[in-house]
Amino acid sequence: RALDESEVLRFELILEQVILATDVTKQGEIRQRAEPTIAQLRSCELGDAGDAAGKVDPLVARVQMMQCLMKCADLANSVRPDACAATWEDAVFQEFHREGATLLERRFEDNLPATLDPERRAEASVGFFECILMPTFKLLYSFLEALPYSRLDTVAACLSLFDVRHAVARARVDE
């Protein structure tokens, strides 16, 4: 069936919100909005439109979950085999370095390295794991954990792999 104009506009807005979730400067904002939804999901039933006290608006929950999934998909190359993941990490570092002034100016995370200088690459890698990668996948894990019948094994395996790669990056910094 064809969508009427209001449905098309609503779809476009949702699509835009989901795609913009890949913007690294939105990381903290997405997490802040999602955490109360996750808490509500853990403690209550989904409502028709969030109309009853203590119920979660299913559209809000879906959009936030889609944003989290999109963000994880954007970062998913980090779970590839080491050589591929290293190539991807290098590309991300170069992107961050090009956008460095804007990112540092906005300081979206307190523990983001104060520089993106290539000489401090290992420090930037640790910051990437701590500020972006691991919190994003932990947020997805929390969403899934709050939903009945969710399978957590894939996300848990990703988090375990990130823990190892984070430890390797941390060891480089500590050398």
Give the pLDDT confidence score for residue 60 in this predicted structure. 87
> Mean pLDDT in each 10-residue stretch from start to end of the chain (175 residues)?
84 89 81 90 64 69 90 84 80 68 55 57 78 88 86 90 88 84
Residues 6+ positions from 109 with CB-CB distance below 8 Å: 27, 28, 127, 131, 132
Give the pLDDT confidence score for residue 81 in this predicted structure. 84
18 within 8 A of 63, measured Cβ to Cβ: yes
Q: What is the pLDDT of residues 51-88, one digit of tens each?
A: 445 578 888 888 999 999 998 888 888 788 888 888 87
Give the pLDDT confidence score for residue 50 in this predicted structure. 45
> Model pTM?
0.77
Report how far Cα 92 is from the mean position of its chain's Cα atoms: 15
